[in-house]
Amino acid sequence: MRASVGGVELEYQVEGQGPWLILSHSLTTDLGMWDLQMPPLLKQFRVLRYDMRGHGRSAAPAGPYSFDELGGDVLGLMDALGIDRASYVGLSIGGMIGQHLALRAPERFERLVLANTTSRIPPEGVALWEERIRAVGERGLEPLVQSTLERWFTEPYRQANSDVMAWIGAMIRRTPAAGYIGCGRAIQTLDLTDRLGAIRLPVLVIAGAEDPGTPPAAGAGIAQAIPGARLEIIARASHLSCIEQPETFNRLLLDFLTPPDQADFSARK
């Protein structure tokens, strides 16, 4: 399904019954990144997955993009689908968007999960992103595939799961250069740490114990800055912890997103 939001065509999928839950994927993936979360989530929630602008089957306008635009895409989809309030799960750049949304429109969200993400890009990180953006502008995404997979998954997992490497590698290759560059420019501007204390939503922060890009210290910084936030670190996981350790990731999601008195929605039908 597609919706026009702010003049940009966005691909999305809606499945399930129950309270609304929005899933926002990482850079250079698409809504399929969440496939391993869907079976348990659909027992409890009506799930909205979408392809971020510049990714998947969504349009890839020339950048740079801003977090105002990326967050506006989420709010625009909510408006188009008549969603007043939802819980939100975002990983990597999806988690960065989630932080902006919690500050921009807290009344639209019930609970917030920020996975494998950070709240600030230091100067050396800005320079690193400049190198990546220049490389993609010159040669496309192919040269980044192997190094990205090496950062996103631990070596034992990569060695044992060639099918997953092919699956995620294909997502990376399919990402338009304009989408990577547009989102990369937004990431370079990320500087929210000092504002996170204003967030009053229930927040779960998830980090991968072996994630070199957004390490546990980055997640701990977010959790410490947001009053009442909870931090969970997943062992034997790197950046895409939702794929590398799906059972643990899914259990943490359901424990946090489902209030104790909320029965299985499918059992109530």
Tell me, what's the pLDDT at 26? 98
Q: Which residues pair with 115 in a beta bridge?
A: 91, 206
Tell me, what's the pLDDT at 193? 98
Helix (H, G, I), strand (E, B) or coil at 135: helix
CA pair distance 258, 243, nearest whole angstrom: 21
Q: What is the pTM of this model?
A: 0.95
Proportion of the chain above pLDDT 70, given as a percent: 96
What are the start-end ranges of the E strands in the chain? Answer: 2-5, 8-16, 20-24, 46-50, 86-91, 109-115, 203-208, 230-234
* pLDDT higher than threshold 90 for residue 264: no
CA dihedral 170, 100, 75, 266 (to 10 degrees): 70
Tell me, what's the pLDDT at 41? 98
17 φψ region: left (φ > 0), alpha (ψ -120 to 50), beta (else): beta
- Tell me the backbone φ, ψ of residue 214, rounded to 5 degrees: -125, 80
* pLDDT higher than threshold 80 for residue 268: no
On average, the pLDDT of the chain sits at: 95
* DSSP symbol at 51: P
* pLDDT higher than threshold 80 for residue 239: yes
Name the pLDDT band for 184 (thresholds 50, 70, 90): very high
Calculate mean pLDDT across residues 240-252: 98
Tell me, what's the pLDDT at 261? 55
* pLDDT higher than threshold 50 for residue 267: no
Tell me, what's the pLDDT at 190? 98
CA pair distance 263, 269, nearest whole angstrom: 11
Task: Read off the pLDDT of residues 45-86 as tens digits, 9 standing for 90 and up.
Answer: 999 999 999 999 999 999 999 999 999 999 999 999 999 999
CA pair distance 191, 200, nearest whole angstrom: 19
Task: Read off the pLDDT of residues 112-152 as tens digits, 9 standing for 90 and up.
Answer: 999 999 999 999 999 999 999 999 999 999 999 999 999 99
Q: Which element (helix H / strand E) includes 138? A: helix 123-139
Structure tokens at 133: 């953006």
Structure tokens at 135: 């490389």
Domains of the chain by start residue, with CATH = 2-268 (3.40.50.1820)
* pLDDT higher than threshold 70 for residue 262: no
Tell me, what's the pLDDT at 260? 66
- Strand duo 86-91 + 109-115: pairing: parallel
Task: Read off the pLDDT of residues 150-163 as tens digits, 9 standing for 90 and up.
Answer: 999 999 999 999 99
Task: Read off the pLDDT of residues 75-116 as tens digits, 9 standing for 90 and up.
Answer: 999 999 999 999 999 999 999 999 999 999 999 999 999 999
Please name which of 142, 212, 150, 133 lies closest in space to residue 171, comparing C-alpha atoms: 142
* pLDDT higher than threshold 80 for residue 217: yes
CA pair distance 101, 75, nearest whole angstrom: 8
Calculate mean pLDDT across residues 208-217: 98
Name the pLDDT band for 266 (thresholds 50, 70, 90): very low
Return the residue matching tokens 């929005």: 22
Q: Which residues pair with 207 in a beta bridge?
A: 233
Task: Read off the pLDDT of residues 189-209 as tens digits, 9 standing for 90 and up.
Answer: 999 999 999 999 999 999 999
